[in-house]
Structure 1
Amino acid sequence: MSEVIHVRIEKERAQKALERLKKLDFFLPQFEIKRDGEYILIPVSRNVEKEENIVIECEPREMKIMPQGHAGSFDLIGDIAIIHERKRIDHDFMVQFILKSKGNIRTIYLDMGIKGETRLRDLKLLYGEDNPVTMYRENNIIMKVDVKKAYFSPRLSTERYLVSRNVTDGEYIFDMFAGIGPFSLNIAKRTKCKIVACDINSDAVELLKYNLSINKLLSDVEVHEGNSYKIIKELKPFNRIIMNNPVNQYESLDEIIESLTDGGRLNIYMVEDQETIEEKMEYFIGKGMFLETKRVVHGYSKSKSMYSLQYRRDPT
């Protein structure tokens, strides 16, 4: 699993520090707060000003917020909760648990699966008003989300931050399946570069344009609606290509590699079992790509996980 920055602070000061980090939108609630002797380790999304604190990095442990004895999980997106479909789950119990543990929830959906080329969720209303639009904050950016019209996952918040931290000024980046723009926004918030953000879903593109307008950004972001595999041919080469569409089978990987500059980087996300991901890694290595990082983002099923892979194209 990837490393996450933690703030190390004395126990007597931890509560005030946690409240401050939450207010600044630095706290990562998906990871556990840990103890280290007389200190508390608080997971944060960025290297905050140290002052008297010591900022360290350690292996995070995901915190599953679940009633004991019940399989399943849920995502929180603004004031919307989405329960993921699991066998033998008591949905009524889950709804009550979410409402008691999270005070700002107005709508709860059941996720019946992701369908179609545009990766839309099939959602069933379990509680509240059937309004799929909300505002969501992560890593000091804000996004308007419509959970019915455009796919979005809060589970990649830390991953998006880690990728954005790896980008350097001056890069020319292609965000192939940009959606409402979480990768592009995270990068543009921190780095001066040129980003091309593309998605085939017209609703996602409109949300992306809106989200660009409401955030203060350092980078220029050029938005395209259409087939990413066609658009990349017109605008290549790029210093970095981001491919975040892990459930669908990627096309034309040879052409994607050829769309990178020498030394360019590919951030690709895949949902595979251990054997298959090893085969995919061998494919990229055979194409002259050097594996820089490999992370398990989260589990997907009993046998599969979502993997984050960053490759560098070595000069031919």
Structure 2
Amino acid sequence: MESLCLVVPKMRAEPIRRKLMEKGILRKELQIRSDKRSVYFPISQRIDLGFPIETEDFKESEEQVTDYRVLVDIPDELRPLLPSSYDSLGTIAIVKIADEVAPFAKQIGQAIIATQKSIKTVCQDAGVVDQFRTRNVKVVAGEKTTETLHREYGMVFKIDVAKAFFSPRLATEREIVAKQVRPGEVVIDMFSGVGPFAIMIARTKQPKVVYAIDVNPDAISLLKENLVLNKVVSVTPILGDARAEIASLEKADRIIMNLPHQASEFVADAMRALKPAGVVHYYEIIEDSKLGERLDMIANLARGEGLVMKELARRKVKSYSPTMNFYGLDLQFV
């Protein structure tokens, strides 16, 4: 296959290869060529790096390396500390990197881009910060952007990973919840983010309305864009504190509480906002040994409201640490 290529002396080849990967213009579907003097890098566009650009024929890559760790040049004793997984959101990969291998962050990012054709940007994730649940992210390789379009179950979401939290690992969970919604329901998403739960429900079911609340103005702004992108009209975005906002809304058939570190602080408010026999989809990251205590606490709160809690379903959505898991609980209050 014919392609533009950058012709680089062999002694300069490796740093130039990394630069081309960082800029996202190395054609990974073609095999790099070399002769006694030079390396020929197939590129998708012209770039001025001080080396000649020619047009040459290249073979298509026969085998794509999919494990980025193979490409990372790192001391053997540190190799077990390389991240074993990362989140892919559209064209962005978000990876948590241990302190011991943090000096290799750029190389890790470049290797991920080299092995995943859809990834154009790699961000290092230093955890969720502030009351808006935003990620503390830094671009370590590829295009200098934190915005992307993420596709999920036929829907598209505009995301800015630095401004609003979004987890692609909850895609199956969102489908599970949406399948339970009946036509004409009133649904409240107390912590909606950019709208993945709300939009999936509105797109795949026929709710009367989904009230999507978030305290983060950037999340609500992105949610409004996502409603347009997905041609959804039955979602009402609300910027504000969930506790205050649900008190003024009509009673709900179903409430989604995806705030895994703080949901227990809002569960009594959710109960009061339900219709009789309403359901709460409750999410919490919790020690396995303390889950029973949490359910007892919620049941006691329900009794204080004159209600009885029924556990309809319990799902271990994902692992968080050796002793903690992200749980999804479907709870009915009658």
Q: Answer 1 or 2: which has greater helix percent.
A: 2
Give the SS at the match of 2:117: coil
Distance (whole Å) between structure 2 residues aligned to residue 249 and residue 161 of structure 1: 20
Instruction: Tell whether the 8 Å contact from 1:72 to 1:86 is kept in structure 2 after alignment.
Output: no
Partner residue, 2:213: 198
Larger radius of gyration: 2
Instruction: Tell whether the 8 Å contact from 1:121 to 1:151 is kept in structure 2 after alignment.
Output: yes
| Correspondence 1:211-290 to 2 at 5 A | 211-217=226-232, 220-248=234-262, 250-286=264-300, 287=302, 288-290=308-310
Give the SS at the match of 2:109: helix
Residues 169, 162 of structure 1: CA spacing in aligned structure 2 closer, same or farther, 3 A cutoff? same
Partner residue, 1:295: 315
**Which deviates the most, 171-180 or 241-250?**
241-250
CA RMSD after TM alignment: 1.9
Q: Which runs of 5+ in 2 are unaligned?
A: 1-65, 71-79, 303-307
Regions of 4+ moved over 6 Å: none
Instruction: Tell whether the 8 Å contact from 1:72 to 1:83 is kept in structure 2 after alignment.
Output: no
Distance (whole Å) between structure 2 residues aligned to residue 108 and residue 85 of structure 1: 12
| Correspondence 1:1-316 to 2 at 5 A | 67=69, 69=80, 70-89=82-101, 90-92=104-106, 94-193=108-207, 194-217=209-232, 220-248=234-262, 250-286=264-300, 287=302, 288-314=308-334
Instruction: Tell whether the 8 Å contact from 2:187 to 2:254 is kept in structure 1 after alignment.
Output: yes
Q: Which runs of 5+ in 1 are unaligned?
A: 1-63
Q: Deviations over 1:10-36 (max 9, x none)?
A: xxxxxxxxxxxxxxxxxxxxxxxxxxx
Residues 279, 99 of structure 1: CA spacing in aligned structure 2 closer, same or farther, 3 A cutoff? same
Q: Deviations over 1:106-137 (max 9, x none)?
A: 21110011111001111122102221111010
Q: What percentage of residue pairs aligned between the two structures are identical?
A: 32
| Displacement of 1:226 | 0.5
Give the SS at the match of 1:88: helix
Residues 156, 241 of structure 1: CA spacing in aligned structure 2 closer, same or farther, 3 A cutoff? same
| Displacement of 1:291 | 0.5
Instruction: Tell whether the 8 Å contact from 2:113 to 2:122 is kept in structure 1 after alignment.
Output: no
Distance (whole Å) between structure 1 residues aligned to residue 266 and residue 148 of structure 2: 35
Residues 65, 311 of structure 1: CA spacing in aligned structure 2 closer, same or farther, 3 A cutoff? farther
Instruction: Tell whether the 8 Å contact from 2:110 to 2:142 is kept in structure 1 after alignment.
Output: no
What TM-score does the superposition give when structure 2 sets the normalisation length? 0.71
Residues 160, 278 of structure 1: CA spacing in aligned structure 2 closer, same or farther, 3 A cutoff? same
Q: Which has the higher contact order (CA 8 A, sep 6+)?
A: 1
Aligned length: 250
Distance (whole Å) between structure 2 residues aligned to residue 241 and residue 84 of structure 1: 31
